[in-house]
Amino acid sequence: MRIAHIIYICIACLLVSCTHTGKQAVYSGEAKIDSLTYAQGLTIRYFADYTAVDVRDPWDTTKLLQRYLLVERAKPLPSGMPKGTVIRVPVRKTVVYTSVHASILEQLGEAGSIVGVCEPRYMESPVIQAGLKAGRIADLGEATAPNVERMLEIGAEAIIASPFQNSSFGPVEKLGIPIIQGADYMESLPLGRTEWVKFYGLLFGKKTMADSVFRETEQAYLEVKALAADVKTRPTVVSEKKYGSSWYMPGGNSYIAHLFEDAGADYLFRDLPSAASQPLSFETVFEKAIHADYWLVKYNQAIDMTYQELRQEYAPYENFDAYQERKVYGCNTGRVPYYEEFPLHPDYLLKDFVWIFHPELLPGYTPRYYHPLVD
């Protein structure tokens, strides 16, 4: 389950170095440039007759992944537009590949525009499930090989999907339906990922609502971050667990690494390059993280995991200090809406982390996602 671009070097530099001013946009020549504060993979420029949205390639930021030209549905196509994918807005019929993007649309009040989804077994939303049951939303099968004929039958006007490195969308690319490449998951900063809501809002005529959602989340996140800004001690933490022969560890520039930092903890693998997770051997992780103060894992199962189950999964886990000292915290994504919520609300996740690492800062707090494993 569950995925950005350059226009001109000068604009890219501006985006990276800008600071938050509280303004919606600044003017540059004929365009009005949205002053994005955290998102590094996105550029939004407003022209008189259309809006240009550039998504940079997160794996090679010197390249443009896609340029979208948003034109109001009732207006004629303006002349002189640059080359790009034209999208008539507001979009009325959307296909969504992931539960993350379905949740974002739902929170923007646009669940009714979703006419098709891939892999509905991962769609936890009651609204989406009700739409599937009633036949208002089509089951398009697997995201890797969706039913393209059905896509055409339901009249999809846009497809929102997460891009992956060195891969394509296959036959879907030949349909002529605009594919919105949601590379928000590759943002390094938690609020950078959230800031993509401004793009999604533009697609559905919900700019004001999207701006409001972002401002509220930003304020909440910064308030929680301030709680841990002056902590005296910073415990060490290791993340995730082994799958198959590899332990996929979040990179040192990932949003998870930044969340740990903002929560007042030292992430033991912050020296890993890039924002992407990297496969490591168990031995490599064990050597570096055996003495970690905390260990945070995600899993998906019917009931919450116990220490015994964790050991049964892989016996050497019991040799970590965090296991022996009962400082392992788990997030059961099968029972909590982790993937659906945190892209728009990283403040929820940050609050859990602050509570884990510095419980004295949040007395009486009930965690939303992560809970201590039990014996």
Question: Residues 78, 210, 140, 116: what is their CA dihedral angle, to the nearest 10 degrees?
Answer: -80
Range 7-23 average pLDDT = 33
pLDDT at 7: 32
Mean pLDDT over each residue of the chain, to the nearest integer: 91
How many other CB atoms are found less than 10 A from the CB of residue 115?
21
* Residues 130-148, mean pLDDT to the nearest whole number: 97
Is the pLDDT confidence value at 22 over 50?
no
Region class of 135: left (phi > 0), else alpha (psi between -120 and 50), else beta: left
Q: What's the CA gap between 233 and 226, in Å, rounded?
A: 15
Q: How confident is the model at residue 331 (pLDDT cuts 50, 70, 90)?
A: very high
Q: Which residue has the higher pLDDT, 152 or 166?
A: 152
What confidence category does residue 48 fall into, taking pLDDT thresholds of 50, 70 and 90?
A: very high
- Single-letter residue type at 132: L
Residue at token pair 């082994």:
242
Q: What is the pTM of this model?
A: 0.89
Dist CA 215 CA 258 (whole Å): 19
Beta strand 246-249 with 278-280 is antiparallel
Three-state DSSP at 196 gives coil
pLDDT tens-digit readout, 227-261: 999 999 999 999 999 999 999 999 999 999 999 99
| pLDDT, position 9 | 30
* Domains, the chain, with CATH or none: 228-372 (3.40.50.1980)
Residue 21 scores a pLDDT above 50: no
Tell me which residue has tokens 């690494």.
257
Higher pLDDT, 8 or 181: 181
Residue 167 — pLDDT band, cuts 50, 70, 90? confident
Q: What is the pLDDT of residue 31?
A: 78
Unique residue bearing structure tokens 């989804």: 117
Cα gap 347→350, rounded to integer Å? 5
Share of the chain above pLDDT 90, in %: 87
pLDDT digits (tens, 9 = 90+) for 173-190: 999 999 999 999 999 999
One-letter amino acid of 107: Q
Reply yes or no on whether the pLDDT at 162 is more than 50: yes
N-term to C-term CA, the chain: 30
pLDDT confidence bin for 30, thresholds 50/70/90: low
pLDDT of residue 275: 85
pLDDT for res 24: 42
Give the SS3 label for residue 263: coil
Output the CA–CA distances (angstroms, integers) from residue 276 to 33, 153, 186, 206, 248, in the order listed.
28, 36, 7, 30, 9
CA-to-CA distance for 83 and 69, rounded, in angstroms?
9
Within 10 angstroms of residue 369's Cβ, the number of other Cβ atoms is 22
